[in-house]
Each structure stands twice: as C-alpha cells, then as structure tokens.
Amino acid sequence: MLTLTENAGTVVSDLVSRASETDTAGLRIQQGDNRFDIAIAEAPAPTEVVVEQAGARIFMDAPVAQVLDEMTLDAQIDPAGNIRFALAPQL
C-alpha cells in the first residue's frame, strides 16, 4: 500500500485543510497522460481506495492504487512556496 513520508503527510494535511472545510476531504491521485495528476477532493468516490496516514487522506482508484502499491509519496516545498511531490520505491 502507498505510504507517505512524514513531510508528505504534513504537506497533504495542510494543503487539504486550506482548500476544504470538510473532514472527509483528501488528495486524489489519478492517472494522467504519462503521469499522475492530483487534486483536492471533498470525499472519496465509493470505489476509491483510501490511504490515511499521519492525518493525511489520499484517494485513488484501484488501478492507480495497484501501481503505487509499493511506493512512498514524498513532498518538498521550495523557498517560493511551490510544492513538489515525488514517488519512490518503498525501502
């Protein structure tokens, strides 16, 4: 199952809490053109896999969850405040 670094958990939690006032909201990861796209979602779709870790909620459909099954999501914020997410194999 997808895991999050401590930093990613903090960034996702902060990002979602700023964009939504609902406690069901999370970050949706979906398949894009040759990449993954992310968006804030108010709640998971009934068929989505939900990963909850360190106060962060990630929503994915089953095919994306399968691809990310043994990956770790990390996040970095640069000095200008831009967020960069990265995936790496779990150690």
Summarised one tens digit per residue, pLDDT across range 50-64 is 999 988 999 999 999
In this prediction, residue 23 carries a pLDDT of: 92
The per-residue pLDDT for range 8-52, each reduced to its tens digit, is: 999 999 999 999 999 999 999 999 999 999 999 999 999 999 999
The pTM assigned to this predicted structure is: 0.92
Buried b (16+ CB within 10 A) or exposed e, 15-44: bbeeeeeeeebbbbbeeeeeeeebebbebb
Spelled out in words, what is the top-level CATH class assigned to the domain 3-89? mainly beta
- C-alpha–C-alpha distance, residues 1 and 56, integer Å: 14
In this prediction, residue 91 carries a pLDDT of: 80
In this prediction, residue 54 carries a pLDDT of: 80
Do 27 and 15 touch, CB atoms closer than 8 A? yes
Q: Report the percentage of the chain scoring pLDDT > 90.
A: 96
